[in-house]
Each structure stands twice: as structure tokens, then as C-alpha cells.
């Protein structure tokens, strides 16, 4: 006991002393980062951390002039653990903000921590729609730099309709994120005159689509798919293997750069929509892809870009605040009032603290990009919808009047 | 003259008192971890009641934990019930719903023994997980349910230290109750069933009923742990009910030493310490956790509590330790 007391006292003195000396030179910004660095999502977690770290490395570990203490905590892909780790960051490390979480469930679980502890929580990846929609009021210290699940789906639904597809089948992973992505697509597609004639919900983590493929209705013009992780690799392979010839379009995670390098040539020509593609033809993106690839040996995914941009956003907001931490409320106000020239393109923030950004309709092509000498699969951009908000063209009030997208909403009017 | 058993009780009481006195003066993160570990330890002890004292290895204990947690969350968010004095009603309801579910599941599970019992409880546990995952309108599906703050009935449980003491009280009382249970004639006959069920049947005991009741009681404690867990995290999701929760609780019991109650608690403390505290310090915490499991299974088949048995009572209780060794090597 005495020992412990002594250590604590000693530690306290040390911290106090260090704090004093540090104060004399520059403000220290303590940033907590919660990502799954072990477990089945460890590789995604690595992309998240790497994206943020790359920006820090490029800027001498300073954001807006303040020295950054970047503390990474492992959420293990579990919401319970994410809560514990977020609390650890706030209570023990006294961070000014915590960032991250991967799954929507982690985002949902950590948002109340920000309210309880009055600490800023920046959601760089978790996309659950309602965090910046119907439940916004509960989380005044929450802001999103990534995306909301249905945000890219609305333009994609419009695009599919513009291609002349009349009837489509939707096959999406059976969980909240799948409902929101597929729901957004169905809503926009049907509002434009298309018809979803069948909805199939394979469980999350399905690897054998044998039972589902034969049930897909043959009178559809195309398929909409929303796959995640290993599902993304298996579904197009098995569907094409079964002799299916019609077009496949998908939600962002069906073809994101995390899965793309492991896919076969059968996915060439498939179309998906997201707020980022590694194949965006801008000098800024080219520099980012090259730097990222040189350092980590792989093409950045949207997980990397989202966190890189988050770091950039904090950097520019801190500059506006004069290099001093202005407190969470003020910081959110600064972030909301900014336009960022990000790797993914121009981004701003709506009043509901969700980004307004370009949504890219992307087609998988095999080609050489950015001077790499081997033909690889890239998500070539075929159409850009600029300044897309989470409410698409519906307007906030009308959009929020409908329930959140779920398994049964929008209802499948044209299913038999 | 103080007997050996009384000394043990005194040691446990002293350890609990030390826990209650020291933890609140540590950092708030340690308080949070201790609270979580104690809530979970109630679940682990309920597993021990089955595994260590009745000889039933339940792989579905997360189900009762889950219904307790979901009951709390659903009542609090949909009906605003259980955030004041009615919190105590929720505690009782949580215990009852855990016990009721166990009473239902027990009808299927108790018919079997050994590995079949394990498979049936696993399957039933997964049914509850499936419900939590798919019954979107009630459980919020994969996203789970967020609770808005903890109960406040004069005592504000939003205060971490107050809440720590509440969970501590539940934990200590649960431990005492389970201890009294296993020392009672009923508990002795459970041990008899564990040792040799056939002999108990020949002696005229209704072993099915004994096991059934033990199963229900364990379910009740599981439900209580769930209620506390929901408020500890402020969040309930299918991840709470998932198979790994059941496996974790089983591993904690084996790690600490089955059939001791205290062992379940120690196992919980070690796993939580490694998984949630060590993981904040080093990235290779999983190797440590794995190493601890492997070394325990290899060298301490009776768990960490086995060390005590080894050194202190090697000679006096030779027959007992042999009996327990037999239990530990029994396939489960």
C-alpha cells in the first residue's frame, strides 16, 4: 500500500513537472484512438490507425501547432470493450477527444460516453445513420468525419435508375448497416421509378452463397449487393461462377480497396458507390496513395482515408483555434464552419454534424495507375455526385419523418 | 479454536473489505474495471455453481445474463422504468426472468449429461443470441440499446464510486448466498450428484430435480449479473449474449478453480485485468492471456485455487484432492 502510494506520488510529481515544462513550449493535444487491433477486424483497425498516423508523420507529429500525444486503444471489435477503452482514454489519459470505432455498434456504444464525460467523440468510420439523424440530440459532443451508411446509396439508386434498370434484386448482409445501405438504395431507386422485386438477407459472415444464388429471380435487370469483409470476396465469385451474366452493383464495402486486391478478374465491370476511391485522379489523392503505399505496402482503403482526413480536419480546426484547445463545444463549432480540401475531395459539415461530400460511382477496372507498373484492380470513377448530404434531395424534415431504414423499411412493394 | 473453513471465510472477508476500501481511492478507470469484473464475477460464480458443484458444464450461461441485461435496457429506454426506486424492482425482475428462462431451458438441457448437456445449452444460448440479433424492433438488432444514464433514487448511481459500492454489495451478497447454498444439505447432495449420480439415485434422491433447481438458481444469478452489466456499460448489444461470453465465463471458472466460488472470482479478475488493463499497456496481451490458460491447464488442472490445495493441505486432505483431480480430468 505504501509502495503504491509512493509510486502514485512520484508519478504525480513527475507528471506535474513534465506538464509544467511542456506547457512552456507548446500546447499538448491528447488524442485517443479506438480501433480493433486484435481479433477478426485487426487488419481494418490497422488501416484506420495507419491513416491517422501517416498524417501525423507527415506533419511532424503536430496538429495546428500543438504537439500530439496519440494513444491507440484496442476495442477488439466489441462494443462493450469500446466503451471501456473510451472511458479509459477519458478518465485515465485525460484526452481532449477520442476518435474511431469500426462497427456501427461500437459507434452507438461510444456516443453516450462522449455525452457523459463531456468529451468530443469524432466518428471517423462508424456510419450508423441515426447518430447524426434521429438520435442527434442525445449526443451534443459527437461529430462525424466519415459518412452515414445510406449517404452513398441514394445517388447510387438514382444512377441505377438512370441506366435504365427497371427491376432489381437486393441482396444484403443481415444487420443494421446492411439495412441502411440497402434501404437507401431501394428508396432512391423506387422514387425514380425502379422496382425492387426481391430482397435477400444472408447472415453477416456468410461464405457459402449456394443456398441463395438459385433463388435470385431471373426477371431482374441487375443485382444490388451489400457485402462486408470476407463476404465481399465470395459473393461475386460464386455468383459469376454460377453463370450469372447480368450487371452487379454494390454498396461501398462490397468493392472497397480493403477487399479489391484479393478479388479475381470476375469483378471487372461491377459498379459501387462510396465517398472515396483510391483511384480518384487528383494530385492530392495520387500523393496520398503513393505515400501510403510506400510506407505500409498496400493501397489505402476508405478506412485509411477517413482517418487521414480526420487528422487533417483536426489540424485545420486547431489552426483556426490558434493552436490552443478551445473546448469541445467550441471545437465542434469550428469544425462545422469549415470547408476541407481533403484527399477524397471537398468536404464540409452539415448542421447535423455529418459531412457533405462528393459521392463517387465507381466501376472496377484492371489497369495501371499512378505509375505502378503492374495492372491491378482499381475503382475507376465513372460519375461524381458533388455535395451530397445525408438527406440527399429529400430535405431534412421530410427525410427524418420516415423511420430509419430497416429490414422492413422501405417495404418491399413489388415482391411476390 | 478456529477451524480451517473459518480461516478461509475470514480471509475472503478480509480480501473483500480490502477491495471495498482500496479500489475507490484508485483512478476512476480502475474503479470502472473493478465494477465490470465484479458484475461479471456473479455470472462466473453462477457457472461455478453448475460446473464445480453440480458437475454440469453449461455453455449457455450468457443467455440468462443477456435477458437480464436486455430486460433492463428495454424497460429503461422504452418505458422509462427502473431509473428511480423501481430499479430494485428491475433487479428482482431480472433475477426472475433469468430463473424463468433457465426453468424453461432446463426442461430440455437437464435430460442430458456431459458433452450433450454442453451442446444443448450452447444451442439454447445461441437461440437467445439470435433473438437479440434479429428482433430489431425490440432489441435494436446489431446496434444494441443505449441506456441514458443510471438509476437515481436519492443515491445517484451515475457516480462511479457509488455504483461501485452497489455492485460490490450485490457481488458480496451473491457470493455469500451461493456459499450458503453449496454448504447446505441441498448443496451437499449436488456434490453427491457430481461425484456419482447413480449412487445418489439409488439412495433415493431425485437427481433430476436437484440439477433442475441448481440450474434455475444459476440462471437467476445470471439474470442479476445481466442487470448490473447493463448499467455498468450503459449499452447492451448482441455482443453481450454472444457465445464468447459463455465461453469466457467457463474459462474464468476453470482458470480460477472450479468448485470454489472464490476461484471463479479470481479467474474473472485475472481475465479482466489482462484483457482490459494489460491491453491498454502492451499490444501482446493476448499471448499473456493464452499463456496463462495453457499453463493453468497443463500444470494446475484444479485452477489457481489448486495451488492452495497443493501446498497447504497436501497431506491432511489427500483423499479430497484426489477426488477433485478426478473431477478436473473428467472430460467436460
Contact yes or no for A105 and B283 at CB 8 A = no
Is B246 domain-assigned?
yes
- Indicate the pTM of the whole model: 0.85
> Measured between alpha carbons, how far is A209 from A231 in angstroms, rounded to an integer?
9
- Quick one: which of A239, A242, A289, A301 has its CA closest to A269? A239
User: Tell me: the pLDDT tens digits for A124-133?
Assistant: 999 989 899 9
The dihedral sign for the CA sequence A15, A21, A22, A23: positive
Segments forming the whole domain that contains residue A60: 28-148+284-349
Q: How far is B164 from chain A (nearest CA, A)?
A: 15
Is A17 domain-assigned?
no
Confidence band (pLDDT; 50, 70, 90) for A205? confident
B144, pLDDT greater than 90: no
Count the helices and strands in chain A (H runs, E runs): 11, 15
Q: Does residue A204 sit in the same domain as residue A308?
A: no
Q: Does residue A138 sit in the same domain as residue A33?
A: yes
3-state SS assignment for residue A94: coil
* Domain boundary, last residue among A349, A369, A387: A349
Task: State mean pLDDT over A186-210.
Answer: 92
Contact yes or no for A80 and B240 at CB 8 A = yes
Interfacial A residues in 184-243 facing B (CB < 8 Å)? 204
Is B11 domain-assigned?
no
- Quick one: which of B234, B211, B10 has its CA closest to B113? B211
Is B62 domain-assigned?
yes
Whole-Å CA distances, A141 to A87, A113, A328, A396, B144: 14, 9, 7, 21, 20
Find the range with the poorest average confidence among A51-60, A291-300, B283-292: B283-292
Is A57 domain-assigned?
yes
B254, pLDDT greater than 60: yes
pLDDT of residue A284: 95
With beta carbons less than 8 A apart as the criterion, state whether A121 and A97 touch. Answer: yes
Interface check for A128 against chain B (CB to CB < 8 A): the answer is yes
Q: Does residue A112 sit in the same domain as residue A219?
A: no
Kindly give, in sequence order, each residue whose CB lies less than 8 Å from that of residue A255, ignoring residues fewer than 6 positions away: A232, A263, A267, A270, A272, A362, A364, A379
Whole-Å CA distances, A153 to A72, A123, A126, A178: 31, 19, 16, 11
Is B28 domain-assigned?
no
Enter the ipTM. 0.79
Task: State mean pLDDT over B126-148.
Answer: 87
> Measured between alpha carbons, how far is A330 from A5 in angstroms, rounded to an integer?
38
- The number of domains in chain A is 2
Q: Does residue A46 sit in the same domain as residue A133?
A: yes
- 3-class DSSP string for A109-134: HHHHHHHHHCCEEEECCCCCHHHHCC
A261, pLDDT greater than 60: yes
Q: Where are the beta strands (DSSP E) in chain B?
A: 145-146, 152-153, 155-156, 235-236
Confidence band (pLDDT; 50, 70, 90) for B1? low
B282, pLDDT greater than 80: yes
A376, pLDDT greater than 80: yes
Q: Does residue A58 sit in the same domain as residue A159?
A: no
Confidence band (pLDDT; 50, 70, 90) for A14? very low
Interface check for A109 against chain B (CB to CB < 8 A): the answer is yes
Contact yes or no for B27 and A111 at CB 8 A = no
Q: Does residue A213 sit in the same domain as residue A80?
A: no
Q: Does residue A267 sit in the same domain as residue A123?
A: no
A12, pLDDT greater than 50: no
Question: Which region holds residue B12: left if phi is over 0, alpha if psi is between -120 and 50, else beta?
Answer: alpha
Q: Chain B residues with CB inside 8 Å of A94's CB?
A: none
> Measured between alpha carbons, how far is B67 from B63 in angstroms, rounded to an integer?
6
Confidence band (pLDDT; 50, 70, 90) for B328? low
Is B279 domain-assigned?
yes
Is A411 domain-assigned?
no
CATH of the domain at A66: 3.40.50.2300
Is A263 domain-assigned?
yes
3-state SS assignment for residue A192: coil
Q: Does residue A38 sit in the same domain as residue A124?
A: yes
Find the range with the poorest average confidence among A194-198, B26-30, B208-212: B26-30
Q: Chain A residues with CB inside 8 Å of B150's CB?
A: none
CB atoms within 10 A of CB A23: 10
User: Tell me: the pLDDT tens digits for B215-243?
Assistant: 999 999 999 999 999 999 888 988 889 88
Segments forming the whole domain that contains residue B53: 34-329
pLDDT of residue B4: 76
Confidence band (pLDDT; 50, 70, 90) for B2? low
Is A100 domain-assigned?
yes
> Measured between alpha carbons, how far is B156 from A162 in angstroms, rounded to an integer?
57
Is A22 domain-assigned?
no
Q: Does residue A337 sit in the same domain as residue A198?
A: no
Interface check for A15 against chain B (CB to CB < 8 A): the answer is no
Task: State mean pLDDT over B137-161.
Answer: 85
Q: Does residue A239 sit in the same domain as residue A373?
A: yes
Is A414 domain-assigned?
no
- The number of domains in chain B is 1
Amino acid at each position: 500500500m505504501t509502495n503504491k502510494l509512493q509510486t502514485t506520488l512520484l508519478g504525480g510529481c513527475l507528471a506535474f513537472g513534465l506538464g509544467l515544462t511542456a506547457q512552456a513550449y507548446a500546447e499538448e493535444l491528447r488524442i485517443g484512438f479506438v480501433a480493433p487491433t486484435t481479433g477478426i477486424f485487426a487488419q481494418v483497425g490497422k488501416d484506420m490507425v495507419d491513416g491517422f498516423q501517416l498524417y501525423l508523420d507527415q506533419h511532424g507529429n503536430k496538429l495546428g501547432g500543438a504537439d500530439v500525444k496519440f494513444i491507440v486503444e484496442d476495442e477488439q471489435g466489441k462494443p462493450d470493450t469500446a466503451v471501456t477503452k473510451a472511458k479509459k482514454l477519458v478518465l485515465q489519459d485525460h484526452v481532449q477527444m477520442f476518435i474511431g470505432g469500426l462497427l456501427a455498434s461500437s459507434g452507438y456504444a461510444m456516443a453516450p460516453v462522449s455525452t457523459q464525460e463531456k468529451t468530443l467523440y469524432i466518428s471517423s468510420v462508424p456510419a450508423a445513420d441515426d447518430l447524426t439523424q434521429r438520435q442527434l440530440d442525445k449526443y451534443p459532443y459527437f461529430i462525424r468525419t466519415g459518412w452515414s451508411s445510406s449517404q452513398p446509396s441514394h445517388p447510387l439508386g438514382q444512377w441505377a435508375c438512370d441506366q435504365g434498370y427497371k427491376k432489381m434484386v437486393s441482396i444484403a448482409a443481415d444487420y443494421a448497416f446492411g439495412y441502411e445501405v440497402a434501404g437507401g438504395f431501394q428508396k432512391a431507386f423506387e422514387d425514380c421509378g425502379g422496382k425492387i422485386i426481391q430482397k435477400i438477407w444472408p447472415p453477416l459472415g456468410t461464405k457459402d452463397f449456394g443456398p441463395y444464388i438459385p433463388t435470385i429471380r431471373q426477371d431482374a435487370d441487375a443485382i444490388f449487393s451489400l457485402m462486408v469483409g470476407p463476404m465481399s470476396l465470395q459473393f461475386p465469385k460464386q455468383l459469376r461462377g454460377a453463370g450469372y451474366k447480368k450487371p452487379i452493383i454494390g454498396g461501398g464495402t462490397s468493392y472497397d480497396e480493403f477487399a479489391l486486391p484479393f478479388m479475381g478478374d470476375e469483378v471487372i465491370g461491377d459498379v459501387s458507390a462510396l465517398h472515396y476511391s483510391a483511384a480518384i485522379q487528383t494530385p492530392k489523392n495520387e500523393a496520398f496513395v503513393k505515400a501510403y503505399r510506400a510506407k505500409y505496402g498496400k493501397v489505402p482503403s476508405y478506412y485509411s482515408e477517413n482517418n487521414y482526413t480526420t487528422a487533417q480536419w483536426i489540424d485545420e480546426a486547431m489552426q483556426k483555434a490558434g493552436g490552443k484547445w478551445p473546448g469541445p463545444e467550441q471545437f465542434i463549432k469550428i469544425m462545422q464552419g469549415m470547408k476541407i480540401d481533403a484527399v477524397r475531395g471537398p468536404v464540409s459539415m452539415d448542421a447535423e454534424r455529418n459531412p457533405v461530400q462528393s459521392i463517387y460511382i465507381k466501376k472496377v477496372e484492371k489497369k495501371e495507375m499512378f505509375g505502378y507498373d503492374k495492372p491491378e484492380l482499381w475503382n475507376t470513377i465513372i460519375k461524381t455526385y458533388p455535395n451530397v448530404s445525408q438527406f440527399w434531395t429529400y430535405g431534412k424534415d421530410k427525410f427524418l419523418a420516415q423511420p430509419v431504414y430497416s429490414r422492413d423499411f422501405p417495404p418491399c412493394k413489388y415482391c411476390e | 479454536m478456529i477451524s480451517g473453513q473459518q480461516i478461509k471465510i475470514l480471509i475472503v472477508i478480509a480480501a473483500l473489505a480490502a477491495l471495498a476500501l482500496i479500489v475507490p481511492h484508485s483512478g476512476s478507470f480502475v474503479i470502472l474495471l473493478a465494477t465490470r469484473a465484479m458484475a461479471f464475477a456473479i455470472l462466473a460464480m453462477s457457472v461455478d455453481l453448475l460446473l464445480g458443484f453440480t458437475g454440469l458444464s453449461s455453455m449457455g450461461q450468457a443467455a440468462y445474463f443477456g435477458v437480464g441485461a436486455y430486460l433492463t435496457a428495454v424497460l429503461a429506454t422504452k418505458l422509462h422504468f427502473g431509473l428511480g426506486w423501481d430499479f430494485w424492482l428491475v433487479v428482482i425482475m431480472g433475477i426472475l426472468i433469468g430463473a424463468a428462462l433457465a426453468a424453461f431451458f432446463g426442461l430440455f438441457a437437464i435430460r442430458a449429461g456431459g458433452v450433450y448437456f454442453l451442446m444443448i445449452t450452447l444451442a439454447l444460448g445461441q437461440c437467445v443470441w439470435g433473438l437479440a440479433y434479429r428482433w430489431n424492433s425490440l432489441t435494436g438488432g446489431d446496434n444494441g440499446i443505449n441506456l441514458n444514464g443510471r438509476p437515481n433514487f436519492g443515491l445517484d448511481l451515475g457516480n462511479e464510486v457509488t455504483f461501485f459500492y452497489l455492485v460490490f454489495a450485490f457481488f458480496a451478497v451473491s457470493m455469500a448466498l451461493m456459499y450458503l447454498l453449496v454448504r447446505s444439505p441441498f448443496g451437499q447432495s449436488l456434490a453427491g450428484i457430481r461425484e456419482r449420480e447413480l449412487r445418489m439415485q439409488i439412495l433415493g434422491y431425485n437427481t433430476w430435480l436437484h440439477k433442475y433447481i441448481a440450474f434455475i438458481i444459476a440462471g437467476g444469478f445470471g439474470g442479476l449479473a445481466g442487470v448490473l452489466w447493463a448499467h455498468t456499460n450503459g449499452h447492451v448489444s448482441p455482443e453481450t449474449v454472444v457465445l464468447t461470453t459463455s465461453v469466457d465465463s467457463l474459462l474464468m471458472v476453470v482458470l480460477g478453480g472450479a468448485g470454489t466460488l472464490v476461484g471463479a472470482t479470481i479467474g474473472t479478475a485475472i481475465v479482466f485485468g489482462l484483457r482490459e488493463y494489460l491491453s491498454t499497456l502492451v499490444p501482446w496481451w493476448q499471448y499473456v492471456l493464452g499463456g496463462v490458460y495453457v499453463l493453468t491447464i497443463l500444470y494446475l488442472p484444479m485452477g489457481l485455487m489448486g495451488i492452495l490445495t497443493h501446498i497447504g493441505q497436501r497431506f491432511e486432505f489427500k483423499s479430497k484432492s484426489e477426488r477433485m483431480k478426478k473431477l478436473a480430468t473428467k472430460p467436460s
